[in-house]
Amino acid sequence: MVDLYALQTPVVLIPLVVIVSLLVGSFLNVVILRLPIMLFREWKRECSTLDDNLPKHPALDDLDAPYNLVKPDSHCRNCQAPVKPWQNIPVVSFLLLRGKCASCGTRIGWRYPVVEAATGLLSLVVALYFPWGWPLAAMLLFTWLLVAMSVIDIDHQILPDSMTLGLMWIGLLLNTQAMFVPLESAVLGAAGGYMALWSVYWLFKLVTGKEGMGFGDFKLLAALGAWLGVGALPIIILLSSLVGAVVGIAGILIMGRDKNLPIPFGPYLAAAGWIAALWGENLMGWYLSIL
């Protein structure tokens, strides 16, 4: 448990972190929804034979209409009614609207308040562990990017380069000041993270003839290595494989999921990286004590 008396961030500032994070969570919903569509539009422009594999979305039918993280304004996907400011309050608006569009009554997805609440909750935990200042700000950004990437990977089985590589460069830049680990450890972590999964990928492909994960996974682990250093890689790989295997097998046994369907590995890497960022040293000590 967190000892509130030992908190390094002033207690009065914690609610501020949570409120800002809820608002960020609301924006993450926009990123999660639109960034993949923006990528698909780009791919479709470059390659007109791609159609079959893309999700249905109006912005993919009309490539000339503006579509980015800001435009068009948020609207109901059924009746096009614009979302008014009071309908855009994280979590609260969803409850006030009882999960339905105010104009046409179409159900609003659960995922919107869930992403907002999860972002707020995870950010609260980060604020309880990191002292007020740049390390906390950096770790919040780390958390938010991981949330968005995880949901995008679950939705579309892609991890956009702009997010994985962006996260990696930010981690390397922060660690030029040794914010979390010495720069040497960060560089080794980035390169080692990429190569570790790259080797697993080729080994798996040689043995089974199938592709077990995507290149986005390598880049995500490289980003985690850049933030948390080469020493965090074993615990991240161990945790993500463990949880991934448990969830994967449960999915096949309980849900009757087809075992040949690809399982997105990004969310497990992201979760393991996040846990390692907060409790990595304790876990490592515990792991070594067992050995």
In the complex, the residues that contact Zn ion under the rule CB under 5 A are 76, 78-79, 81, 101, 103-104, 106
| Nearest distance in Å: CB 41, Zn ion | 24
| Nearest distance in Å: CB 103, Zn ion | 5
Among residues 81 and 252, whose Cβ is nearest to Zn ion? Answer: 81
Among residues 78 and 176, whose Cβ is nearest to Zn ion? Answer: 78
Q: How far is CA 105 from CA 81, 97, 98, 99, in A?
A: 11, 9, 10, 9
Rounded to the nearest 5 degrees, what angle is found at the Cα of 148, between the Cα atoms of 146 and 151?
A: 105
| Nearest distance in Å: CB 64, Zn ion | 25
| Nearest distance in Å: CB 79, Zn ion | 3
Peptide bond before 267: cis, by omega within 30 degrees of 0?
A: no
Among residues 50 and 104, whose Cβ is nearest to Zn ion? Answer: 104
Among residues 83 and 284, whose Cβ is nearest to Zn ion? Answer: 83
Among residues 74 and 241, whose Cβ is nearest to Zn ion? Answer: 74
| Nearest distance in Å: CB 81, Zn ion | 5
| Nearest distance in Å: CB 77, Zn ion | 8
Among residues 103 and 162, whose Cβ is nearest to Zn ion? Answer: 103
